[in-house]
Amino acid sequence: MKFIVSSSQLLKQIQVLSGVINSNNTLPILDNFLFELNHNELKISGSDLETTMSTTVQVESTSEGSVAISARLLLDTLKTFPDQPLTFKTEDNHTIEISSNQGKYDMAYFDGSEFPKSVDLENPNKTNIPGNVLATAIAKTIFATGNDDLRPVMSGVFFQFSPNSLTFVATDAHKLVKYSRTDITSSEVAEFIMPKKPLNLLKNILSNSSSDLTIEYNDTNAKFIFDNIVLTCRLIDGKYPNYEAVIPRENPNKLTVDRALFLNSVKRVSIFSSKTTHQIRLKMAGTELNISAEDIDYSNKAEERLNCDYQGDDMQIGFNSRFLTEMLSNLDSNDIKIEMSLPNRAGILTPIDGVEEGEHITMLVMPVMLNH
């Protein structure tokens, strides 16, 4: 098999794929990219068994064949070339020769047939979604996923499709984010849980993409198809917790505050909080919000006051400052609203502005017990 390809074009494509490959694979073949040549179309794939991603590149060739080439070696080599045509040619001694303007490089290859086959989805359901919308949905939710191996369903993002809306939910039992779009819908009703790794890959690739994306899915796998890329991944098995049940409906106490000022205050004050609980205290009365933290073990404490719009009974509530910081950092609005009922019930954050038509974001954060 022999083909000629632009070095920069090939590098660009395999850099996208390299995120799939684990640094410590149990199967040596997974340290390789699979090259499948069909005349002037070259399909390149990377896999970790759970997630497989492939991309196609146009090349000059009249031959066919498939080989698996070391991902690390190929990436390191291609990064050093200025843009130029490279000729790849398989030799009899199980090596592939790469010829450039400067010289020749031989690397060993495996037989392509040893590479794990990607899953074919039979009669899948399909939904189309703009790439940038999916990238935003992932970015707004993925930080709230859990890391508990005992509760794998919470380590992914829950996708809920219906003819009314697309909804994406993530929670780790301390914080929850629900991101929905009523301007984009699906003809099918569907629910599945996507693992973090493929979502991070999609987020990075789609963040500056304007193309539409097709999602195909069944009970066990999902496939994302866009531009010249196909990503197939295994879904997380299990039933997602009933998240609607934990969102408190009656929240008479409403606080409206400038997001950037509030975020900076929380960051500053939290430096003085206990390193084990990260607890900060919010005290609301009239038009004043008092933010304080104390680390009794080291006699450190801090307090700040912010102007705000508060409607409700005077109250004090404690939150984990790290959760609050993450949530405020993942919103783009100028002002946010925090709705609360009691000091031991969850607080609900929503952006007041900076949201697109049809876009809805609800963030929920559990309080921590205040030690008076």
pLDDT of residue 330: 96
Structural domains of the chain, count? 3
Report the C-alpha gap between 160 and 250 in whole angstroms: 25
Say which CATH number the domain at 29 has. 3.10.150.10
C-beta of residue 37 within 8 angstroms of C-beta of residue 1: yes
Say yes or no: 13 and 100 in one domain: yes
pLDDT of residue 342: 95
pLDDT of residue 372: 61
Report the C-alpha gap between 104 and 97 in whole angstroms: 7
Show which of 179, 213, 244 is a domain's final residue. Answer: 244
Say yes or no: 167 and 259 in one domain: no
pLDDT of residue 208: 77
The domain in which residue 326 lies consists of: 249-368
β-pair partners for 281: 292, 318
Residue 233 exposed, middle or buried by CB count within 10 Å (0-12, 13-18, 19+): buried
Say yes or no: 173 and 216 in one domain: yes
pTM: 0.93
Closest CA to 156 of 205, 251, 222, 107: 222
Say yes or no: 137 and 234 in one domain: yes
Residue 61 falls inside a structural domain: yes
Say yes or no: 104 and 170 in one domain: no
Say yes or no: 147 and 44 in one domain: no
In this structure, the strands spanning 175-181 and 166-171 are antiparallel
Residue 141 falls inside a structural domain: yes
Say yes or no: 236 and 325 in one domain: no
Residue 56: strand, helix, or coil: strand
Say yes or no: 52 and 80 in one domain: yes
Residue 120 falls inside a structural domain: no
Residue 64 falls inside a structural domain: yes
pLDDT of residue 149: 86
Model pLDDT for residues 167-194, shown as the tens digit of each residue: 999 999 999 999 999 999 999 899 999 9
Say yes or no: 269 and 309 in one domain: yes
pLDDT of residue 45: 98
Residue 10 falls inside a structural domain: yes
Say yes or no: 279 and 341 in one domain: yes
Say yes or no: 139 and 205 in one domain: yes
Residue 234 falls inside a structural domain: yes
Report the C-alpha gap between 325 and 279 in whole angstroms: 12
Report the C-alpha gap between 44 and 67 in whole angstroms: 10
Residues in the chain: 372
Residue 325 falls inside a structural domain: yes
Model pLDDT for residues 206-224, shown as the tens digit of each residue: 987 788 999 999 999 999 9
Show which of 184, 211, 244 is a domain's final residue. Answer: 244
Residue 119 falls inside a structural domain: no
Say yes or no: 240 and 270 in one domain: no
Give me the residues of the chain with pLDDT under 70, please.
372
Show which of 114, 144, 168 is a domain's final residue. Answer: 114
